[in-house]
Amino acid sequence: MSTWAELRQAIQEGGLEATARAVTALDDTERRTAAAELPRLLKEMRAATEYGWFDDEVMRRLLIAGAGAIGGPAAAASWLCRTDLRLWWWGDDAMRLLDEVTRARPAEWRAEVARRIGDRMRVFDGERARWEVAAALARSAGAPPPVSDGFVVGWVAGPGHAEDLARDPFLDTLLPKLFEAEGVGAALADDANRVQWDASRETTWAAALVDLARAGRIERRLLLDGCVSRFLRGGTAHSLRWFAGLHDALEPTDEETVDRLRDYVRLLPTAPPVVADLALRQVRRADDLGRLGAEPFTEAADAVLFRPERKLVRACLTWLDRTARRRGRVDATLRALTALFPSEVIDLRERAVKIAAKHAARAGEAVRAEVRDAAGVLPAGPRAAIADAFGEVEALPEPVSPGPLPYVPRAMPAPIGSLAELADEFGTLVRAEEEWAATERFLAALIDHAHRDPGGTREALWKVADDIAPWITRPDDYAYMRRTIEASWVAFPVDTLLFGRRKRAAGLRAALSLRRSRPGAAPSDPPLARFLEWRLRETASSVGTRPLLLATPTEASGHIDPDVLVGRLERLEEAGAEPGRADLAQAMLRVPREVGPAAPVRAKALASGAGRAVASWLAAGGLPDPAVTCEIIDPRSGTGGDRASRPPALIRTSVDVPGDTDADRVCALSARAGRDAAPWNLLERIGHWPAILPSHREVAAAHLAVHAGNFPDDVRMPGAAMLGVAEADGPAGPATAALLAFTLAADDQRDRSNAVDALVTLSARDALPAAETGTALGRLCALGRIPLPRTLKALTAAADAGAHADVWTVLATALPHMLPAPGERAPAGLPSLVALATRMAEVTGAKGAVPAVAEVAARGGSSRLVTECARLHRTIAT
């Protein structure tokens, strides 16, 4: 007989064998004691480890001890499934000992523990160890296996040899579940690839099941019906691809196909492409056998012709063309083809028209009339082809493109109204990516509350910081976080409030004050980034010393209501305070382009230096639009100056501001800027830049665009910056166009989505420089700097949002730069871009040949580029 003390010693100091012997030798009383003490021992042992983790050997001892000591099946299953005792693999010795310590338990107990473990298993690859335990217990009990989804997925994760499966006691129970359990298709998605790298696999599961069906061990009908039922339940292409492979590997006979014909037809409308392709092949096979009736034919043809996959639609068109006469269903075929007449996929639409014209002579009069009616939506060329074959077609009125929805500016969030709300917002922002509008809102409230109630504000923020940002409240423990704090628009001002480091903030502020560029200045320091750094230091040094921030915007674009601005200056004068220089410059730059009469009159009464400066600014109408230049250059063409070994920036911009005020210096940009990649920390807030210059869109774009082609690999050019430019005011020219061209091809989907929104916003505001954007796109494509497939997706989305006319202008201007010379290879995605241009030309009614398109169309040949150019040329030239 053994005792709990001996079992405890075996777990802590012995091995697996000693643990198994000790737990097996326990009597009932000691077993109950052990079951009660094991959780406490686990807690003690975990507390004694350095990181709270056990190695696998210790976990195996604890698991075996629990399996042998714990009495109830539910409690035993819970112990064996503890997350803090999770094994990735048990090993042969541990599995043998598990069998030894549970062998004396009743078969019903082992079966119930197996079932409960199976029920706890989740559907993912890391459950194999638990599967082995549940399977071993079920086998030793001679019981049916668990049938939960997780257990079935664990079963198919095994090797799957045909010989082993034939002897597997689980096969007959689990095989039907193979087609019902969620996660099986995903688990077997790489079935074929595993044979290449997994030495334990000699064949795939699909091949093993086919072999068993061929040998008569399992029924073919079960497999075929299982596949079809799984298809009908639906799923993704990834989750159904393995079942499609199994279906094809079974090579259904003619009768098996006909027996399931109704199900195959039902799959055609919405099944994933891999399943729809399989179903269409089976439907065509039944048709070849003469077993496809008129009703299922119509249902199948209609379903496929409405699908978005071009490959499937082409296959269907080929089938319809080849069988229309042979099967005596010309009328039914023609009715089906009219579904493609309104299609925006031009090559498929034209092919449908050709097939219809080919079979027109055998059409009944009623169908001829239906085709003529349906052809009214066709463009002029295809419509004329239908008229030649079927008789005169009355063109429907051209649909009027509604254009993009009217632009509605985003709403600015309400100011923070209480200390509790301020503390809550700090807790959110200190752990999040800094977004300029939320940051400005927070800083305005921080300055206000710190001036009115410094003690209460300090106490409220200290509690939150000490809880979720201890690197602020315990600086000695987090010295390495000092630079991070000083770079944060949220943490640094709070740190200044809590510890009174205003001298540090002021010193850093002075070092960052803007100066007009000097010959020795670093061209990699972007002026707007340096201005943000200056303003951050100044704001931090203002916490508790100034009653308000002057530059807090009142509009989501970054603008300040002029009347609000004058009111803030009046409050500052009443408090005997002056705004900071950066705060004043930012406030002036945020004045709208159009100012009502009241604010300039009120401003004349201001007596402070800042008040007089703002009064003069308002009276002059703000900053006049500076001269902006933007040039896309070929980096391979060489450089000048002392950096001849390096290519210049891809985009070279300049902003010429004749004045010398702080606001003037913020806007100014030398043509030398951007020749080297700027330090990443100066560009990480590049999304804030448009809000610095909300009345000068092209100036902000010039500052941004110069970095677009020379960006650090680990920092994104955010589409949010482009959207900010679109929501700003002022002229838009080549810099805006170049920036938009880059962001339309962004790698990140979120950035592309923002770029699309920017294009649509500019279009809705009648401010899109469409021709310049097309030129920039063409030049960047010719230089190999943007991937056309991404640009195609973005422009298609913009067109779908209503910006048809502007997208057409963009494409018509871009294509001459993109189209290859004879003998050159076309960029990937160019034919599809030309097809989009044809669609836009049809929608907008654009006319007038594009010489470069006409030249490619005249080359002849069967390449898709030539075909699409010929189609575009016919559309716009006739």
The pLDDT mean for the chain works out to: 90
CA atoms within 13 A on the CB side of 628: 26
The answer to whether 592 and 562 are in contact (CB under 8 A) is yes
Q: How far apart are the C-alpha atoms of 690 and 722, rounded to whole Å?
A: 8
Q: State yes or no: pLDDT of 599 exceeds 60.
A: yes
Q: State yes or no: pLDDT of 512 exceeds 60.
A: no
CA atoms within 13 A on the CB side of 386: 31
Q: How confident is the model at residue 274 (pLDDT cuts 50, 70, 90)?
A: very high
Q: Above pLDDT 90, what percent of the chain?
A: 76
Q: State yes or no: pLDDT of 223 exceeds 90.
A: yes
Q: Would you state the pLDDT for residue 716?
A: 56
**Candidate from 124-133, 400-409, 595-604, 661-670 with smallest mean pLDDT:** 124-133
Single out the residue of 376, 375, 378, 344 nearest to residue 835, CA to CA: 344
Q: How far apart are the C-alpha atoms of 676 and 655, rounded to whole Å?
A: 18
**Candidate from 276-290, 674-688, 735-749, 775-789 with smallest mean pLDDT:** 674-688
Q: Above pLDDT 70, what percent of the chain?
A: 91
Please report where in the chains the tokens 């819970």 appear, as a residue: 78
Q: Would you state the pLDDT for residue 647?
A: 47
Q: State yes or no: pLDDT of 713 exceeds 80.
A: no
The 10s digit of each residue's pLDDT in 329-345 is: 999 999 999 999 999 89
Q: How confident is the model at residue 660 (pLDDT cuts 50, 70, 90)?
A: confident
Q: Would you state the pLDDT for residue 201?
A: 66
Q: Would you state the pLDDT for residue 125?
A: 57
Single out the residue of 240, 211, 208, 207 nearest to residue 226, CA to CA: 240
If you average pLDDT over each of 164-168, 204-208, 387-391, 650-654, which comes out highest? 387-391
Secondary structure of residue 628 in the 3-state scheme: strand
- What is the mean pLDDT of the segment spanning 433-456? 95
Q: How confident is the model at residue 523 (pLDDT cuts 50, 70, 90)?
A: very low
Q: State yes or no: pLDDT of 244 exceeds 60.
A: yes
Residue 113 identity: V
Q: How confident is the model at residue 194 (pLDDT cuts 50, 70, 90)?
A: confident
Q: How confident is the model at residue 524 (pLDDT cuts 50, 70, 90)?
A: low
Residue 200 identity: S
Q: Would you state the pLDDT for residue 509?
A: 45
Q: Angle at which helices 73-80 and 56-69 pack, to 10 degrees?
A: 180
Q: E-strand spans in 514-639?
A: 627-632
- What is the mean pLDDT of the segment spanning 447-459? 96
Q: State yes or no: pLDDT of 514 exceeds 60.
A: no
* Start-end of H helices in 162-260: 162-167, 171-174, 184-187, 191-197, 205-215, 220-233, 237-249, 254-259
Q: How confident is the model at residue 614 (pLDDT cuts 50, 70, 90)?
A: very high
Q: How far apart are the C-alpha atoms of 108 and 130, rounded to whole Å?
A: 19
DSSP 81-107: T-GGG--S---HHHHHHHHHHHTTS-H
Q: State yes or no: pLDDT of 519 exceeds 70.
A: no
Q: State yes or no: pLDDT of 701 exceeds 80.
A: yes
The answer to whether 129 and 88 are in contact (CB under 8 A) is yes
- What is the mean pLDDT of the segment spanning 178-200? 83
The 10s digit of each residue's pLDDT in 61-70 is: 999 999 999 9
Q: State yes or no: pLDDT of 95 exceeds 90.
A: yes
Q: How far apart are the C-alpha atoms of 446 and 461, rounded to whole Å?
A: 10
CA atoms within 13 A on the CB side of 539: 32
Residue 518 CA to its chain's centroid (Å): 42
Q: State yes or no: pLDDT of 851 exceeds 70.
A: yes
The 10s digit of each residue's pLDDT in 807-838 is: 999 999 999 999 999 989 999 999 999 999 99
Q: How confident is the model at residue 646 (pLDDT cuts 50, 70, 90)?
A: very low
Single out the residue of 362, 394, 358, 357 nearest to residue 375, CA to CA: 394
Q: How far apart are the C-alpha atoms of 85 and 55, rounded to whole Å?
A: 9
Q: State yes or no: pLDDT of 281 exceeds 80.
A: yes
- What is the mean pLDDT of the segment spanning 638-648? 45
Single out the residue of 218, 219, 215, 243 nearest to residue 229, CA to CA: 243
- What is the mean pLDDT of the segment spanning 482-504? 85
Q: How confident is the model at residue 644 (pLDDT cuts 50, 70, 90)?
A: very low
pTM of the full structure: 0.79
Q: State yes or no: pLDDT of 365 exceeds 50.
A: yes
Single out the residue of 319, 585, 547, 576 nearest to residue 444, CA to CA: 547
Q: State yes or no: pLDDT of 180 exceeds 60.
A: yes
CA atoms within 13 A on the CB side of 620: 12
Q: State yes or no: pLDDT of 98 exceeds 50.
A: yes
